[in-house]
Amino acid sequence: MSLCGVASWLGRCGSAFSDDHIALVESLLPSLGISRASYGLPVGYDAFNVPTPGGLLRQLGFVRRPVVLAVERIGDATVEVRDRDGFREMVARENGTELVWTRASLRDPSESGWPYIELFHLAAIQAKARRRALFVGSGGAVALRQFARTYPGLAMDLVEREARVIDLARAWYDLDEIPGLTIHIADGAGFAERAAPSSWDIAVIDAFDASDSTEALRQPLFFSALHRSLRCGGALAVNVIGTLDGHGPVRDIAKCLARSFQRVRVVPVMEADEEYSPSALRNVVLIASKGEQ
């Protein structure tokens, strides 16, 4: 009996349930419980809590200036969580520059407004199975929410180097509300190298920045470890900020992927009305698949 059939029975009208019908539903409950535990149900997310005072005015759009919620010193950067223009942002400031690490909509925290997040699903589509996924890089966990909602029952391992980033995500991005999530405080490259073979069906890497701290994630050893730790038929998505002119991180990571993976694809993020410029700095998502043998 399908769950839909049970739901239609429970919603029937015109006559009462017979004793036989009630007994049948009761007999199905253990199986339904196993199905729920194995596959999950569609996931929804509540809007973020917007602190008072002025929270309602901010949600209605009457307060335009950023509202700073938290400030942390992480390495050489000052990291700030702020609400601005309907989004909750995590921003890093270092040497006079500002980089928005992540942002999530206050109304729907599974949306960021950044289209590169949706491109991660290309890896999930290519993967032959969707049982377990690895995410390197936390931020506001928008991709994690999307995957939990789109692929019910997916188990996810999140690897984040900085414990204080996880603390901020728990406090301000409801990280612990995401089902199926296990959090690991570790270096992403080292974690992948220590992982058992065939651990994941999908891997999503969203941890690159301009600093030397992510240099290990740019090396062939890291992508070789990812290849080993993916199951046959698995797939990988990597977000990179770079250009398409044949220089820099996009070229370097594409070469690393091509050494181990099949069907490496480069997917640049462009606006519909944007004039193509290979030297323009942009998000580029690289998708790679592991063979089935």
Give the pLDDT confidence score for residue 137 in this predicted structure: 87
Region 146-154: what's the mean pLDDT?
Answer: 94
Q: pLDDT band for 272, please (50, 70, 90 cuts).
A: confident
Give the pLDDT confidence score for residue 6 in this predicted structure: 39
CA angle 29, 34, 35 (to 5 degrees): 95
pLDDT in tens, 53-71: 555 555 565 556 789 999 9
Burial 62-100 (b: 16+ CB within 10 A, else e): eeeeeeebeebeeeebebbbbbbeebbbbbbebeeeeee
pTM of full prediction above 0.75? yes
pLDDT in tens, 224-269: 999 999 999 999 999 999 999 998 889 999 999 999 898 899 999 9
104 in Cβ contact with 87 (< 8 Å): yes
pLDDT for 3 beyond 50:
no
Share the mean pLDDT of the chain.
Answer: 85
**Tokens standing for 131?**
């049982």
Give the pLDDT confidence score for residue 1 in this predicted structure: 37
Which ranges of the chain would DSSP assign to H, the alpha helix? 3-10, 19-39, 55-59, 116-119, 121-126, 142-150, 163-172, 188-194, 220-229, 249-260
